[in-house]
Amino acid sequence: MRWGEKPYYSLDYYLKEKFGEKVYKIALDGGMTCPNRDGSIDTRGCIFCSEGGSGDFAVHMKSSVSEQIEDAINLLQSHGKKTGSKFIAYFQSYSNTYAPIDYLRKLYMEALSSPHIAALSIGTRPDCFSDEIYELLNECNQIKPTWIELGLQTIHEKTADFIRRGYPLNTFEETVKRLHDYNIDIIVHIILGLPGESDDDIIKTIHYLNTAGIQGIKLQLLHILKGTDLADYMPKIKIYTEDEYIKLLVRCIGELSPDIVIHRLTGDGPKNLLLAPSWSSNKRHVLNTLAHTLKEEKIYQGKFLQ
DSSP code string of 210-252: HTTT-SEEEEEE--EETTSGGGGGGGGS----HHHHHHHHHHH
User: What is the mean pLDDT of the segment spanning 208-224?
Assistant: 97
Q: Kindly give, in sequence order, each residue whose CB lies less than 8 Å from that of residue 92, ignoring residues fewer than 6 positions away.
A: 27, 28, 29, 54, 55, 57, 58, 123
pLDDT at res. 60: 55
d(CA 26, CA 98): 20
User: What is the mean pLDDT of the segment spanning 198-214?
Assistant: 98
Strand locations in 20-140 (E): 24-28, 87-91, 117-124
Residues 107, 37, 59, 109: what is their CA dihedral angle, to the nearest 10 degrees? Answer: -10
Confidence class for position 81, pLDDT limits 50, 70, 90? confident
Average pLDDT, the chain: 94
pLDDT at res. 59: 53
pLDDT at res. 78: 87
pLDDT at res. 29: 94
Nearest to 254 by CA among 7, 24, 4, 5: 7
Does residue 56 surpass a pLDDT of 50? no
Does residue 7 surpass a pLDDT of 80? yes
Nearest to 191 by CA among 215, 169, 160: 160
User: What is the mean pLDDT of the segment spanning 151-180?
Assistant: 97
Q: Which domains does the chain possess?
A: 11-305 (3.20.20.70)
Confidence class for position 52, pLDDT limits 50, 70, 90? low
Taking only the tens place, the pLDDT of each residue in 290-305 is 999 999 999 999 999 9
Q: What's the pTM?
A: 0.94
Q: Kindly give, in sequence order, each residue whose CB lies less than 8 Å from that of residue 47, ignoring residues fewer than 6 positions away.
A: 162, 163, 164, 228, 229, 230, 233
pLDDT at res. 201: 98
Taking only the tens place, the pLDDT of each residue in 239-256 is 999 999 999 999 999 999
User: What is the mean pLDDT of the segment spanning 273-281?
Assistant: 94
Confidence class for position 55, pLDDT limits 50, 70, 90? very low
Phi, psi angle pair for 93, to nearest 5°: -70, 130
pLDDT at res. 1: 61
Does residue 223 surpass a pLDDT of 70? yes
> How many Cβ atoms from other residues are within 10 Å of residue 51's Cβ?
12
pLDDT at res. 255: 98
Confidence class for position 141, pLDDT limits 50, 70, 90? very high
pLDDT at res. 138: 98
Taking only the tens place, the pLDDT of each residue in 10-24 is 999 999 999 999 999
